[in-house]
């Protein structure tokens, strides 16, 4: 569990599509060594997802075309997907004590129960985040910022 004194020491932002810049994966390393992940999206991104669902339903027999977006992982709606907006949003979520409710904690321990307010990723996700994603940072395809 995070303490009020825990704060981000590094934030990684990876755009889903560098040309559109309206959806990105964000990984946060906290002072206590824990990693948290979430997806930041804009309204135009959600609109495109809804249009895609509508078009897909039109192609499926007996499906009623309808615009919708089903979000399985934590998504945070933001006006712009730029580093400053993302970092300011993270600061606000921490200040309002809702960060853990909206981000998925990444852990390598499968036996830990779900946290009371938030979610925990499994070992498989932890392995990808802690090894693969951080390796991407070494190759300069993901932007990392040290916050301290």
Domain membership of residue 26 (yes or no) is yes
CA 127 – CA 120 distance, rounded (Å):
13
Q: Does 86 score more than 90 pLDDT?
A: yes
Specify the pairing of strand 8-15 against strand 35-41: unpaired
Q: Name the helix (H) or strand (E) containing 24.
A: strand 23-30
Domain that holds residue 35: 8-39+75-146
Domain membership of residue 58 (yes or no) is no
Domain membership of residue 2 (yes or no) is no
How far is the CA of 27 from the CAs of 37, 69, 137, 145, in angstroms? 4, 23, 11, 11
Domain membership of residue 68 (yes or no) is no
Domain membership of residue 100 (yes or no) is yes
Question: pLDDT of 18-54, one tens digit each?
Answer: 787 899 999 999 998 899 999 999 999 999 999 999 9
Structure tokens at 126: 């932890």
Strand partners, 24: 15, 40
| Number of domains within the chain | 1
- Comparing 36-45, 85-94, 119-128, 139-148, the range with the smallest average pLDDT is 139-148
Domain membership of residue 139 (yes or no) is yes
Using pLDDT thresholds of 50, 70 and 90, give the confidence band for residue 6.
confident
Domain membership of residue 61 (yes or no) is no
Specify the pairing of strand 8-15 against strand 143-146: antiparallel
Half-sphere exposure for 84 (CA within 13 Å, toward CB) = 0
Using pLDDT thresholds of 50, 70 and 90, give the confidence band for residue 141.
very low
Domain membership of residue 130 (yes or no) is yes
Q: Is the pTM of this model over 0.75?
A: no
Specify the pairing of strand 23-30 against strand 8-15: antiparallel
């Amino acid at each position: 569990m995070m303490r009020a004194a825990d704060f981000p020491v590094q934030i990684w932002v990876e755009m889903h599509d560098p040309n559109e810049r309206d959806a990105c994966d964000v990984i946060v390393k906290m002072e206590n060594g824990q990693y948290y992940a979430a997806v930041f999206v804009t309204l135009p991104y959600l609109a495109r997802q809804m249009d895609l669902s509508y078009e897909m339903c039109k192609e499926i027999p007996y499906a009623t075309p309808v615009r919708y977006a089903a979000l399985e992982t934590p998504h945070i709606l933001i006006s712009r997907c730029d580093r400053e907006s993302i970092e300011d949003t993270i600061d606000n979520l921490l200040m309002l004590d809702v960060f853990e409710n909206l981000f998925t904690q990444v852990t390598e321990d499968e036996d830990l129960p779900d946290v009371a307010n938030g979610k925990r990723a499994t070992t498989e996700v932890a392995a990808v985040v802690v090894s693969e994603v951080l390796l991407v940072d070494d190759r300069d395809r993901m932007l990392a910022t040290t916050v301290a």
